[in-house]
């Protein structure tokens, strides 16, 4: 039998289970909490305790009702939250684009074409170089509280390099996305249809065994609606589940295509029509907002309030990549969502945990309840509010993944077990 550990001295526990709040019917909230709003949605428990039973949560509730355990750890009045779920990242790459960032800060507009700079560096890198960079970024993410992460390919754009990218990503996480349709590479500039055929054919065959998801950058300068549909159909036929880069650079068909294909998530959602918002609200497709990209490109932020008011499910993610959002910090994204997108701190924390889990169609992470994965973070603060209240401060004191303190599991991957 695995040993049990009781975490006590928790000033405030975020469970993301509204039923844990007195007065809420356990059967009354939607599957992802859509019928409960505000701080109640977080299922807050004051003066709480959490029982870790092996790799799972065995019990949560008021400290005065805590069960016996093999050992007890007093957290000294700190807040505890589910580990962050980062449902959108691009971590398999080489090089950086600091000069491009500097140019943007002096007025140059962001465009999709900069991706090709990273493609060249990634193709030239060895497996060891890419693996070392992945490990560095994994450690950064874990240090800031991310316990589940999605990782895309998309900087190889040849059969061999895309297959290598998803294979390396699969060493980090089971939430791997095949993104051969990131941009059309330079060698196919005169034959974009030929590249789409490659993405749907030989490249897909090589990558699908290592991936769970398929994604397309459906934007001007990348892939048009016809190509996007062709690629998604091929991916679904190969057993992959759609998600989509949509409506980042301007109005477009991306969100509607995501909903049409039953995608788990439409990501960016910066430029939305009323019809787009309604489509998201009436579907199971999560609107994943990536404020790090707007911060790093000086672009307009998505209108989170409009989406939330319509009843859409909203997630927050980092979009970590070397060109337009070079951050692994979910706390930064929470602070930006509160300050720049007018989300409440409670809405932002829910979207960075339970919302991310919804975007990955996961029910075992993003919340703390009996039977969920024992992925949680301890803040050097008495409340989750400090994540937005104290931006830029390293508040994550420790993280547990599968019930193990991460300083004791530094070499483990952010897998989706």
pLDDT digits (tens, 9 = 90+) for 65-107: 999 999 999 999 999 999 999 999 999 999 999 988 898 899 8
* 196 found inside a domain: yes
Query: How do 314-316 and 244-246 pair as beta strands?
Result: unpaired
For 195-204, the pLDDT digits (tens) are 999 999 999 9
Q: Give dist(CA 386, CA 263) in Å, integer.
A: 33
Note the pLDDT of residue 173.
97
Q: Using a pLDDT cut of 70, give the percent of the chain over it.
A: 91
pLDDT (average), residues 194-218: 98
Place of tokens 């931006």: 391
* Alpha helices, DSSP H, located in 173-253: 192-200, 202-207, 225-237
Task: Please enumerate in sequence order all residues whose Cβ is within 8 A of that of 160, keeping only pairs 6 or more positions apart, or say none.
Answer: 206
Q: What's the CA dihedral at 114, 116, 120, 121 to 10 degrees?
A: 40
Q: Give dist(CA 163, CA 145) in Å, integer.
A: 29
| pLDDT higher than 50, residue 14 | yes
Asked whether residue 217 falls in the same domain as residue 155, the answer is yes
Provide the CATH number for the domain around residue 394. Answer: 2.30.40.10
Dihedral pair phi/psi, residue 11, rounded to 5°:
-65, -40
pLDDT band at 243; cut points 50, 70, 90: very high
pLDDT band at 411; cut points 50, 70, 90: very low
Note the pLDDT of residue 408.
44
The β-bridge partners of 415 are: none
For 320-331, the pLDDT digits (tens) are 999 999 999 999
Asked whether residue 263 falls in the same domain as residue 377, the answer is no
* 416 found inside a domain: no
Phi-psi region of 366 (alpha: psi -120 to 50; beta: other; left: phi over 0): left
Query: How do 244-246 and 241-242 pair as beta strands?
Result: unpaired
* 413 found inside a domain: no
Note the pLDDT of residue 107.
85
Note the pLDDT of residue 19.
67
| 30 vs 282, residue with greater confidence | 282
* 229 found inside a domain: yes
Note the pLDDT of residue 104.
87
| pLDDT higher than 70, residue 18 | yes
* Distance from chain centroid for Cα 393: 21
3-state secondary structure at position 291: helix
Asked whether residue 99 falls in the same domain as residue 73, the answer is no
Which range scores top for mean pLDDT: 99-108, 203-212, 403-412?
203-212
pLDDT (average), residues 1-8: 87
Domain that holds residue 376: 4-83+366-408
Task: Please enumerate in sequence order all residues whose Cβ is within 8 A of that of 187, keeping only pairs 6 or more positions apart, or say none.
Answer: none
For 98-130, the pLDDT digits (tens) are 988 898 899 887 665 678 889 999 999 999 999
Asked whether residue 248 falls in the same domain as residue 123, the answer is yes
pLDDT band at 406; cut points 50, 70, 90: confident
pLDDT band at 23; cut points 50, 70, 90: very low
Asked whether residue 272 falls in the same domain as residue 398, the answer is no
Asked whether residue 103 falls in the same domain as residue 33, the answer is no
Q: Give dist(CA 52, CA 4) in Å, integer.
A: 6
| pLDDT higher than 90, residue 251 | yes
Asked whether residue 330 falls in the same domain as residue 254, the answer is yes
Find, among 46, 43, 22, 45, the residue nearest to 32 by Cα: 43
Q: Give dist(CA 8, CA 368) in Å, integer.
A: 15
CA atoms within 13 A on the CB side of 280: 33
Task: Give, rounded to a whole angstrom, the gap between the first and last alpha carbons of the chain.
Answer: 19
Note the pLDDT of residue 33.
37
Asked whether residue 35 falls in the same domain as residue 126, the answer is no
Asked whether residue 117 falls in the same domain as residue 218, the answer is yes
Note the pLDDT of residue 193.
98
* 34 found inside a domain: yes
pLDDT (average), residues 189-211: 98
* 417 found inside a domain: no
Q: For the ranges 132-136, 359-363, 406-410, which has the lowest average pLDDT?
A: 406-410
For 297-315, the pLDDT digits (tens) are 999 999 999 999 999 999 9
pLDDT band at 39; cut points 50, 70, 90: confident
Burial label for 306, CB within 10 Å (0-12, 13-18, 19+), is middle
* 415 found inside a domain: no
Asked whether residue 78 falls in the same domain as residue 152, the answer is no
* 414 found inside a domain: no
Provide the CATH number for the domain around residue 105. Answer: 3.20.20.140
Asked whether residue 316 falls in the same domain as residue 243, the answer is yes
| pLDDT higher than 50, residue 34 | no
Asked whether residue 211 falls in the same domain as residue 299, the answer is yes
Note the pLDDT of residue 63.
97
Q: How many domains does the chain divide into?
A: 2
Q: Where are the beta strands (DSSP E) in 182-285?
A: 213-218, 241-242, 244-246, 265-268
């Amino acid at each position: 039998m695995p040993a049990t550990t009781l975490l006590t001295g928790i000033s405030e526990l975020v469970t993301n289970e509204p039923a844990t709040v007195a007065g809420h019917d356990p059967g009354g909230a939607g599957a992802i909490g859509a019928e409960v709003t505000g701080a109640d949605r977080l299922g807050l428990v004051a003066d709480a305790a959490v029982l870790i039973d092996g790799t799972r949560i065995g019990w949560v509730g008021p400290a005065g009702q805590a069960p016996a355990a093999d050992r007890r750890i007093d957290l000294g009045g700190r807040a505890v939250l589910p580990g962050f779920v980062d449902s959108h990242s691009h971590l398999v790459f080489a090089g950086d684009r600091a000069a491009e960032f500097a140019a943007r800060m002096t007025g140059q507009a962001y465009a999709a074409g900069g991706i090709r700079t990273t493609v060249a560096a990634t193709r030239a890198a060895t497996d060891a170089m890419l693996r070392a960079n992945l490990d560095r970024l994994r450690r950064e993410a874990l240090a800031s509280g991310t316990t589940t992460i999605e990782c895309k390919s998309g900087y190889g754009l040849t059969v061999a390099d895309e297959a290598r990218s998803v294979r390396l990503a699969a060493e980090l996480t089971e939430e791997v996305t095949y993104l051969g349709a990131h941009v059309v590479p330079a060698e196919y500039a005169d034959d974009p249809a030929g590249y789409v055929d490659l993405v749907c054919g030989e490249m897909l065959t090589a990558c699908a065994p290592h991936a769970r998801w398929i994604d397309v950058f459906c934007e001007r300068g990348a892939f048009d609606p016809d190509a996007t549909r062709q690629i998604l159909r091929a991916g679904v036929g190969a057993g992959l589940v759609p998600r989509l880069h949509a409506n980042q650079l301007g109005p477009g068909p991306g969100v509607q295509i995501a909903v049409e294909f039953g995608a788990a998530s439409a990501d960016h959602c910066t430029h939305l029509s009323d019809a787009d918002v309604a489509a998201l609200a009436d579907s199971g497709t999560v609107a994943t907002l990536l404020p790090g990209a707007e911060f790093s490109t000086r672009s307009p932020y998505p209108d989170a309030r409009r989406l939330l008011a319509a009843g859409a499910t909203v997630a927050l993610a980092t979009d970590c990549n070397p060109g337009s959002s070079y951050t692994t910090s979910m706390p930064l994204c929470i602070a930006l969502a509160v300050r720049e997108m007018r989300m409440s701190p409670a809405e932002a924390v829910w979207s960075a945990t339970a919302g991310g889990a919804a975007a990955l169609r996961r029910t075992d992470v993003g919340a703390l309840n009996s039977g969920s994965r024992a992925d949680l973070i301890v803040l050097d603060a008495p409340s989750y509010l400090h994540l937005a209240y104290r931006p830029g401060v390293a508040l994550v004191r420790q993280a547990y993944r599968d019930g193990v303190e991460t300083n004791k599991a530094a070499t483990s991957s952010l897998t989706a077990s």
